[in-house]
Amino acid sequence: MMKNDFLDSAKKQFEYYKMLGDNTFSQLQNNKLFWQYNADSNSIATIVKHLWGNMLSRWTDFLTSDGEKEFRDRDAEFENDIKSREELLYKWNEGWNCLFNAINSLTKDDLNKIIYIRNQGHTVTEAINRQLAHYPYHIGQIVFLGKMLAENGWTSLSIPKGNSQAYNKEKFSKPQKIEHFTNEFLDDEKKQAENH
């Protein structure tokens, strides 16, 4: 049974959105990661670079320094200059590792502490919610681009089209229980990783 705990829930949601990105990258040929519709749009690699820069800035010394770090160059995050899948995945994982290290260090007693982002005060809860809105916004862009760019057909990352009734039937055939909605997706992901 899932503990009724904000930090556990937030961590599971971050893990879920990371998994959506991971499973999008795995469906794309290398060159598609850098494709850009026009000069005003972002490639998947550029979105990853922006998320990386934001995550390192927001989550480094999370409780003790402003979330907009002096080392951050936000404008450079939107230059489409990542050169390889390996570099993209390095930045992607470095950003998420920074986030999870910060989240894992927090306790319930930290949730009402005040942290600052560009001198604007947030409770820790508000700061986490801010990023839980920001990152899925961009990961949705990554998935949208991935669906358009997948050359070998797209494997759905949620309930496949036409399967909603069967999915609901299976869910409603089981007794009610309290669990986080991401559990089934994250558990499937762990099983697949163990089989490879």
Banded pLDDT at 118 (limits 50, 70, 90)? very high
Domains and CATH numbers, the chain: 6-195 (1.20.120.450)
Mean pLDDT of 101-123: 97
Q: Is the pLDDT of residue 104 over 70?
A: yes
Residues in contact with 170: Cβ distance below 8 Å, sequence separation at least 6, in sequence order: none
pLDDT at 107: 94
Mean pLDDT of 106-134: 97
For residues 110 and 189, give the distance between their C-alpha atoms in angstroms, rounded to a whole number.
30
Q: What is the pLDDT of residues 34-91, one digit of tens each?
A: 999 999 999 999 999 999 999 999 999 999 999 999 999 999 999 999 999 999 999 9
pLDDT at 3: 47
Banded pLDDT at 196 (limits 50, 70, 90)? low
For residues 45 and 77, give the distance between their C-alpha atoms in angstroms, rounded to a whole number.
10
What share of the chain in percent tops pLDDT 90? 75
Q: What is the pLDDT of residues 147-178, one digit of tens each?
A: 999 988 899 998 888 889 988 888 888 888 88
Determine how many CB atoms are found less than 10 A away from the CB of residue 26.
9
pLDDT at 4: 52
Query: How open is the CA angle 128-87-150, to the nearest 5 degrees?
Result: 85
Q: Where are the alpha helices (DSSP H) in 37-195?
A: 44-59, 85-105, 124-149, 164-172, 183-195
Q: Is the pLDDT of residue 1 over 50?
A: no
pLDDT at 193: 61
Residue 40 has φ and ψ, to the nearest 5°, of -90, -5
Higher pLDDT, 16 or 174: 16
